[in-house]
Amino acid sequence: MSEYVSLNHGSGGSLTGKLIRSVFVKRFGMDEPLTDSALLKEKGLLLAFTTDSYVVDPIFFPGGDIGKLAVCGTVNDLSVSGAIPKYISASFIIEEGFSFHDLELIADSMSSEAKNAGVRIVTGDTKVVERGKCDKLFINTSGIGLMKTGFENISSAMNVKPGDKLIINGSLGNHAIAVLSARKELTFSSPVTSDCASLNHLINNVLEECSEIRFMRDLTRGGLATVLNELADMISSGIVINESSVPVEEPVKGLCEILGFDPLYLANEGKVLFVVGKEEHQKVLDVLRSHPLGKYSEVIGEIADNNRNMVVLNTAIGGRRIISMLSGMQLPRIC
């Protein structure tokens, strides 16, 4: 391990995994596989518990802000574990000099998103630090949800098998590009807005109507490619994705071309990957597409019985390549 923590350790790729496993997991006695939420049994009650910190810069971006992000992120982590999100905590670390007006805007945003998701923010904490000791505002949210019975195995991918189909609920990379384009020092503008959204109602619809949901995970830092690699590690078979089925909006595509980014690795905040039984995939698609947050859902691939632990992409021109885990964050390139 290197001596100093670098930005790559926070990118969501393999270096983040290394940091977590080598520093925290063993010391805290945590169980693998590490999932979006911890599933806890206590006196016959099955709870999901999750936590997340938000340090996004800039704090206001097209389609949302750090507050909305914080609520959606925690709601989604609970939801993709098969839980009904109920209660959220919100802790704030505020830089000296931060405007009250902006703080109120963010609190309004959190309150409105919590109402929208049907959760309550019930406890919190506030700290103020000297100018320069944090970047404007950091938020941590933790959340508790009640597990729906029968969904305990969704996060661990235990029931995933070859032939299962992979579905996502819309286009990739919007959040990452929206945040990037809002940074003042950059010399491009784009019409892209963040897809930041609470997905619990969408997911609930699917879980109520469909019985063959084998796995769910939300596609945040590190993007679809990271989640696919994490999934491939958890199962004994492989994954095949069809590039032409993966939705990416034109401006996102264009920006990726110019900056040298791969949309498969870009962060999203309103997208979830479903692994569903083959026979049910059309039903899942229909349920998803009848909800505004799932209008552009697509089947993007399937679990293969070869390519053990590998994620293979069938390119748009009929070629094949391996999609591997990024070790650190994507850097823009000229070459």
Partner 1 sequence: MCLSIPAKVVDINGNIADVSVGGAIFKAGLQMVENVEVGDYILLHTGFAIQKISEDEALETFRLLKEIEDAMKK
Partner 2 sequence: MKLSGLIKKAAVLDYTFMEVCGGHTAAIHRFGIPSLLPENIKLISGPGCPVCVTHTSFIDKAVGYSKIDDVIISTFGDLMRVPGTGSSLEKEKAKGGDIRIVFSGPEAVDIAKENIDKKVIFLGIGFETTAPGIAVTIKEAEKVHVENFYLLSAHKVMPPAMEVIIKEGVNLNGFICPGHVAAITGSDYFNFIPEKYNIGCVITGFEPVDILQSIYMLVNQVNMRLAETEIQYSRAVSRQGNSIAQKNISDVFILCDEYWRGFGEIASSGLKLRKEYEKFDAEEMMPIKVKKQKDNDLCICGDILRGLKTPHECELFATACVPENPVGACMVSVEGACNTFYKFRMNE
Q: Is residue 334 involved in binding partner 2 (CB under 8 A)?
A: yes
Using alpha carbons, select from 181, 223, 197 the residue that is nearest to residue 69: 197
57 binds, among partner 2, partner 1, none (CB under 5 to 8 A by kind): none
Q: Is residue 260 involved in binding partner 1 (CB under 8 A)?
A: yes
Does an H or E element contain 68, and which?
helix 66-79
Q: Is residue 255 involved in binding partner 1 (CB under 8 A)?
A: yes
Q: Give CA separation, 278 vs 161, 174, 225, 291, in Å.
A: 10, 28, 22, 21
Stretch that binds partner 1, among 51-59, 194-202, 244-252, 300-308 (CB under 8 A): 244-252
- Helix crossing, 100-117 with 66-79: angle to 10°? 30
Is the CB of residue 213 less than 8 Å from the CB of residue 132?
no
Stretch that binds partner 2, among 6-14, 31-39, 49-57, 76-84 (CB under 8 A): 6-14
Binding-site size, partner 1 (CB under 8 A): 20
Among 317, 322, 331, 335, binds partner 1 (CB under 8 A): 335
Please list, in sequence order, all residues whose beta carbon lies within 8 angstroms of the beta carbon of residue 125, skipping any fewer than 6 positions away: 89, 91, 92
Q: Is residue 253 involved in binding partner 1 (CB under 8 A)?
A: yes
Q: Is residue 250 involved in binding partner 1 (CB under 8 A)?
A: yes
Instruction: Identify the DSSP state of 37.
Output: S
Is the CB of residue 108 less than 8 Å from the CB of residue 64?
no
Stretch that binds partner 2, among 33-41, 82-90, 181-189, 203-211 (CB under 8 A): 181-189
Q: For residues 247-276, which are near partner 2 according to CB under 8 A?
A: 259-260, 262
Q: Is residue 227 involved in binding partner 2 (CB under 8 A)?
A: no
Is the CB of residue 248 less than 8 Å from the CB of residue 171?
yes
Among 33, 97, 163, 332, binds partner 2 (CB under 8 A): 332
Which residues make up the interface to partner 2 (CB under 8 A)? 2, 4-8, 14-15, 18, 185-187, 259-260, 262, 307-310, 313-322, 324, 327-328, 331-335
